[in-house]
Amino acid sequence: MKMTKNNKTITWLTPHSSQTGGNWVTKKVQSELSENYSITTKTFEHGSSLIGHGLSAAQFATHNNDSVDLWVENPFTFSFKRPGIRTDDIVACHHIHYPHPSNAWYQPSEVGRRIKNELFLKRAAHASRVVVVSDYWKQFLNNHGITNVSKVHNGLPIENFDFDQEKVDKLKKELSPDDKPIIHLGIPAKLKGTKKAYHELKGMDAKFITTGRKDYHLPVEHLNPDYEGYLRILAAADVVVSMSQFDEGWGLFVHEALLAGTPVVGTGRGGMSELLNGGDQIVCEEFSDLKSSVRKALDMKESLGKSGHQFVKQFSVERMVSGWDQIFKEIP
């Protein structure tokens, strides 16, 4: 990828370094553009408690550096910053995490989230640019009167999905020696819907697996290999389930599964709808419909796998990085 060397100094602010799709994208863009710009990362991380968030917000509120030409903010860092500082800024908005309806509105974490969201929506129009990753969030912000929005779809390294079929078949046999269909339930993390998906599907004669971050235990095989091994697991699965209970920014997990040629059943919340609808996958909004949806996906495995892969192969790392590079050049 040929890009013009630029002497612009950029600092990327992030409130946490946890294993999320948004952080993966951030690191990939930084890595690919590190030869064209001077890019550094700044994090004030004090844990996920209310006090921890408060300490982070206080430090981000005043942090500044006159030698930085351009700041890349997160909605959290942007919402709480003091007026008049970091004026040359881009907000990378993967999604806005609204409170979950099952949580009481007066819980401290939910009150803090509401305050952050309201501040962000009031201030976002004053950013140099707000960058989103899907049509859903661009339309959402436009509906709130925020028009300084650019869309850069997330991208994946397409070459990593050129699998050795013998290795995939071997892994499939290792995971399910009795040839039961392999159902990947997703990531056992909060609000991902994985626990409820398991309880809806556990009566099926299938092999259930989860991968990645583990916020809670399920009585299924959990795997946390390196990235190459993780992608091979997706390719070996017969169906991937993504029953997120919040509005996803994009749905990197779904993107990876589709690029691996594996059918996906998901809620289609947020930016995930663009992936599922574009790839002709199965949208399942209610858990009560999940079992029938998964059975349908198993019956249509070949056609769903092909249509999903065909759609998402356009979203490459090169396209994503080029989009960010163009935005960096457009900001004076």
pLDDT higher for 298 or 44? 298
Hey, which residues does 151 pair with through a beta bridge?
132
Average pLDDT, the chain: 92
Confidence (pLDDT) at 101: 56
151, part of any domain: yes
CB 196 within 8 A of CB 243: yes
pLDDT higher for 332 or 62? 62
User: H helices within 63-156, ranges in order?
Assistant: 75-79, 108-123, 135-143
Share of residues in the chain with pLDDT > 90 (%): 81
Confidence of residue 45 (pLDDT cuts 50, 70, 90): confident
Number of domains, the chain: 2
Lowest-confidence region among 46-55, 60-69, 95-104 = 95-104
306 with 189, same domain: the answer is: yes
Rounded to an integer, what distance in angstroms lies between the CA atom of residue 178 and that of residue 175?
9
State yes or no: pLDDT of 72 exceeds 90: yes
Rounded to an integer, what distance in angstroms lies between the CA atom of residue 97 and that of residue 114?
9
State yes or no: pLDDT of 65 exceeds 60: yes
3, part of any domain: no
pLDDT higher for 114 or 221? 221
**Phi and psi at residue 225, to the nearest 5°:** -80, -175
Task: Compute CA distances 275 → 266, 282, 283, whole Å.
Answer: 10, 10, 10
248 with 300, same domain: the answer is: yes
Q: How many CB atoms lie within 10 A of CB 101?
A: 7
Range of the domain at 28: 9-155+316-330
102 with 147, same domain: the answer is: yes
215, part of any domain: yes
Q: How many CB atoms lie within 10 A of CB 223?
A: 14
State yes or no: pLDDT of 155 exceeds 70: yes
26, part of any domain: yes
56 with 185, same domain: the answer is: no
State yes or no: pLDDT of 15 exceeds 90: no
Nearest 5°: the CA angle 287, 110, 190 is 40
Residue owning tokens 């991902």: 192
State yes or no: pLDDT of 19 exceeds 80: no
The alpha carbon of 177 is separated from its chain's Cα centroid by a whole number of angstroms, namely 32
Confidence of residue 190 (pLDDT cuts 50, 70, 90): confident
Confidence (pLDDT) at 107: 64
Confidence (pLDDT) at 213: 87
Mean pLDDT of 120-146: 96
151 with 170, same domain: the answer is: no
168, part of any domain: yes
State yes or no: pLDDT of 2 exceeds 60: no
2, part of any domain: no
203 with 293, same domain: the answer is: yes
1, part of any domain: no
142 with 162, same domain: the answer is: no
Q: Residue 261: name the closest of 308, 314, 313, 311 by CA.
A: 308
Mean pLDDT of 71-78: 94
* 144, burial (CB in 10 Å: exposed 0-12, middle 13-18, buried 19+): middle
Tell if the pTM clears 0.85, that is, is over it: yes
179 with 220, same domain: the answer is: yes
The domain that holds 194 is classified in CATH as 3.40.50.2000
Mean pLDDT of 247-267: 96
State yes or no: pLDDT of 103 exceeds 60: no
Rounded to an integer, what distance in angstroms lies between the CA atom of residue 5 and that of residue 15?
29
b/e sequence 40-70, b meaning 16+ C-beta within 10 Å:
eeeebebeeeeeebeebbebbeebeeeebbb
CB 94 within 8 A of CB 270: no
b/e sequence 73-85, b meaning 16+ C-beta within 10 Å:
bbbbbbbbbeeee
Q: Tell me the pLDDT tens digit for each residue of 86-101.
A: 999 999 999 887 655 5
State yes or no: pLDDT of 115 exceeds 90: no
Confidence of residue 104 (pLDDT cuts 50, 70, 90): low
Share of residues in the chain with pLDDT > 70 (%): 94
162 with 304, same domain: the answer is: yes
CB 69 within 8 A of CB 90: no
* DSSP for residue 156: B
